[in-house]
């Protein structure tokens, strides 16, 4: 069969691991390379082969020469299907981060600071790993982690955690890494009316599958399936592919298309098993009705075949959902599959809960919530413990069940946000599209480190069509809290369970707070704005001119009113400005009024002057001269043309970066209930901004 012998997973990029000493990189890289048959490369091992022991080399020749050698070693690493284990300090090398990202997908293998200290205090680390700085290894690790964390965050696309202090740490890191890189374990579904169509689909599924994926052959979709068709499909497949196949001949009552007799149907499954298919899907009710004869017949044809005991409820979620795995246990299945139609969030949560009971059942569980409501679970079910995350057709092939995403869609979503939601520590993040330039991660991670909170703060790239599914996945994953940025601040409103009074009045959300199993929406943008202004002057009774009529203007107008200041709104879109001014209960003036308007504060909420169009200025000189304080919400660049002109006129200026820090601090306090370390957040934001 042309192409069916191709190596599965050949399209996956290389794996590149970074992280501090004793984080578990080396063991995880060895185990992953062995599991998937890839080549492992350790930059430290290559350096030691060339230079001898690294501490001795550094002592003789210094860090600068060592880093030069490290750069040369990294430049020489090339190839495909590689697992590259990098030294802890490689990110400090100039130019190393772009090189690492070009080499493959970069993962930060990390452990909590307390766990690192405990590992490095053990005799085997203390004695066999001499320090490179002259201080004890545990203290050195904390120092290096503080210095390198921003660099690890810049380089890595995702985190892999190793939190255990015992022998399970290696397995924990390996499992997270495997799931992160190869995505959810799938059963790629192949269907078709003709043998040639099924064979072509099998080629496509094999080429797109990962090293642990299975392939389901929906034989019931053939126009008139017969044993001869099975021999034509399975007869010449390579032995390496057959064990990964699931032969399925589904009954109409459970979503299938087979119209023959039950004897003929089970005969097809038995023939598929005899021809070498590694798995056969047998419906629990069908086997129960036969008194177990169906399972015995299939096993009689091929004793080594693995049964997938399945239940498909197209009407909804049955009352006894949680008991199904145990009720199917007498079939002695290798996998139990429960697929039910989900009408909404509550149904999806029940299926998610079933998956999470995996450890208490006799065999692995596949839990699927059919329908649009269950799309998020198809992406993250593996992180909850599902044996297979979902069934999905290869790209370009039709779905065979309600709500199915293609395998490519599942992996794309998993890469963008699914793998980042899964961690043994609380996960926070910022949601937007695009999101790569957000300064929120360095600010919040600096705050967590300063207060000794073990948590991760990540960027979630979520296109608008995926927002509802992402929020469902975040709920199921127990996310600690989220920030929301462009373009989702208003679109997120109907997707939340509650809104606080500020967010409801402003009509936009920038902070999501978990509460009572749901998500509440808040707005801290107005706090960032007024707190920034209050550092320059008291607000009660002041007169402000606000430029723009978008979401930021809403937050600013709300904050000014809360603090007793008056506002006049001006925008290029006069109709939009008039409507917003009426809604917020403030004054409105036409654009031409900017040439003569005066007040205490001039506030720019528009993107005029933002990089890359940083030469623009949203206000004429006369307007700048007519105000005492000039506040520009634009923070890229920090010194905009507007602020530069204002400073030249001797005006007090308030930069947008300050508002960014203070709104982040307010969100941090809502999530954690602890005072935010504002200066640490400001320093981190400034460093990240200046490093661009």
Mind telling me the catalytic residues?
489
Exposure class string for 82-118: b at 16+ Cβ within 10 A, else e: bbbbbbbbbbbbeebbebbeebbbbbbbbbbbebbbe
- What H or E segment, with its residue span, contains residue 86? none
How far is CA 40 from each of CA 25, 33, 45, 520, rounded to the nearest angstrom? 12, 6, 11, 45
Do residues 177 and 109 make contact, with C-beta atoms less than 8 angstroms apart? yes
Contact status, residue 537 vs residue 600, Cβ threshold 8 Å: yes
CB 367 within 8 A of CB 378: no
Distances (CA, A) of 253 to 257, 311, 314, 663: 9, 11, 8, 54
**Residue 391 parent element (H or E):** strand 390-392
Q: Which residues contact 679 (CB under 8 A, 6 or more apart)?
A: none
Find the helix or strand (DSSP H, E) in which 390 lies.
strand 390-392
Residues 6+ apart with CB under 8 A from 83: 14, 15, 17, 29, 32, 33, 38, 39, 40, 41
Q: How long is the chain?
A: 692
Contact 349, 375 (CB under 8 A): no
CB proximity list for 617: less than 8 A, separation 6 or greater = 608, 609, 640, 641, 642, 645
Please say whether the beta carbons of 441 and 459 come within 8 A: yes
Q: CA angle, corner 643, sides to 638 and 648, nearest 5?
A: 130
Element (H, E) at 407: helix 407-413
CB proximity list for 434: less than 8 A, separation 6 or greater = 461
Peptide bond into 418 cis (omega under 30): no
């Amino acid at each position: 069969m042309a192409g069916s012998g191709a190596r599965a997973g050949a399209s996956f990029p290389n794996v590149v691991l970074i992280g501090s000493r004793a984080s578990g990189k080396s063991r995880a890289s060895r185990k992953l390379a062995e599991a998937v048959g890839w080549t492992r490369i350790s930059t430290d091992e290559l350096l030691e082969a060339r230079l001898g022991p690294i501490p001795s080399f550094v002592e003789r020749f210094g860090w600068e020469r060592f880093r030069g050698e490290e750069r040369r070693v990294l430049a020489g690493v090339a190839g495909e299907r590689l697992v590259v284990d990098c030294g802890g300090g490689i990110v400090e090398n100039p130019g190393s981060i772009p090189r690492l990202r070009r080499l493959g997908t970069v993962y930060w293998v990390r452990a909590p600071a307390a766990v690192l200290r405990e590992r490095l205090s053990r005799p085997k680390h203390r004695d066999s790993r001499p320090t490179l700085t002259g201080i004890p290894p545990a203290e050195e690790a904390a120092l290096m982690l503080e210095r390198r964390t921003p660099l690890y965050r810049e380089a890595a696309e995702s985190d892999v955690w190793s939190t255990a202090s015992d022998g399970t740490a290696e397995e924990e890191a390996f499992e997270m890494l495997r799931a992160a890189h190869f995505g959810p374990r799938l059963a790629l579904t192949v269907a078709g009316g003709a043998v040639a169509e099924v064979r072509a689909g099998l080629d496509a599924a094999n080429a797109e599958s990962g090293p642990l994926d299975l392939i389901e052959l929906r034989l019931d979709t053939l126009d008139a399936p017969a044993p001869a068709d099975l021999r034509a499909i399975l007869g010449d497949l390579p032995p390496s592919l057959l064990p990964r196949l699931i032969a399925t001949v589904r009954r109409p009552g459970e979503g299938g298309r087979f119209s023959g007799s039950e004897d003929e149907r089970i005969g097809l499954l038995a023939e598929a098993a005899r021809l070498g298919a590694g798995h056969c899907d047998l419906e629990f009710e069908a086997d129960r009705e036969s008194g177990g004869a169906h399972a015995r017949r299939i096993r009689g044809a091929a004793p080594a075949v693995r049964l997938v005991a399945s239940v498909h409820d197209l009407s909804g979620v049955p009352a006894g959902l949680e008991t199904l795995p145990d009720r199917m246990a007498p079939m002695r299945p290798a996998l139990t599959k429960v697929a039910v139609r989900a009408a909404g969030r509550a149904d999806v949560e029940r299926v998610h809960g079933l998956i999470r009971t995996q450890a208490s059942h006799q065999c692995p569980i596949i839990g699927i919530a059919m329908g649009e409501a269950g799309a998020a679970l198809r992406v993250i079910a593996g992180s909850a413990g599902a044996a297979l995350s979902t069934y999905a057709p290869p790209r370009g092939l039709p779905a065979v069940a309600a709500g199915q995403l293609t395998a490519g869609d599942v992996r794309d979503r998993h890469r963008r946000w699914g793998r980042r939601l899964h961690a043994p520590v609380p996960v926070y993040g910022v949601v937007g599209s695009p999101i790569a330039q957000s300064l929120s991660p360095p600010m919040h991670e600096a705050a967590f480190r300063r207060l000794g909170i073990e948590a991760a703060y990540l960027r979630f790239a979520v296109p608008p069509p995926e927002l509802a599914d992402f929020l469902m996945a975040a709920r199921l994953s127990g996310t600690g809290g989220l920030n929301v940025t462009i373009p989702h601040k208003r679109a997120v409103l109907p997707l939340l369970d509650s809104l606080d009074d500020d967010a409801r009045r402003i009509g936009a959300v920038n902070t999501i707070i978990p509460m009572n199993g749901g998500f509440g929406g808040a707005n801290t943008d107005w706090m960032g704005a007024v707190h920034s202004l209050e550092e320059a002057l008291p607000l009660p009774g002041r007169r402000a001119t606000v430029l723009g009529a978008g979401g930021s203007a809403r937050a600013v107008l709300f904050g000014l009113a809360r603090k007793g200041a008056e506002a006049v709104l001006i925008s290029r879109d006069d109709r939009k400005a008039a409507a917003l001014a009426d809604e917020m209960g403030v004054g409105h003036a036409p654009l031409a009024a900017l040439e003569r308007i005066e007040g205490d504060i001039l506030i720019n909420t528009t993107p005029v002057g933002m990089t890359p169009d940083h030469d623009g200025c949203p206000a004429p000189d006369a307007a700048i001269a007519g105000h005492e304080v000039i506040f520009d919400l634009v923070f890229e660049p920090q010194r905009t043309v507007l602020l530069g002109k204002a400073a030249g006129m001797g005006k007090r200026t308030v930069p947008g970066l300050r508002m960014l820090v203070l709104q982040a601090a307010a969100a941090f306090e809502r999530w954690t209930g602890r005072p935010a370390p504002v200066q640490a957040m400001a320093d981190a934001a400034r460093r990240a901004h200046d490093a661009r």
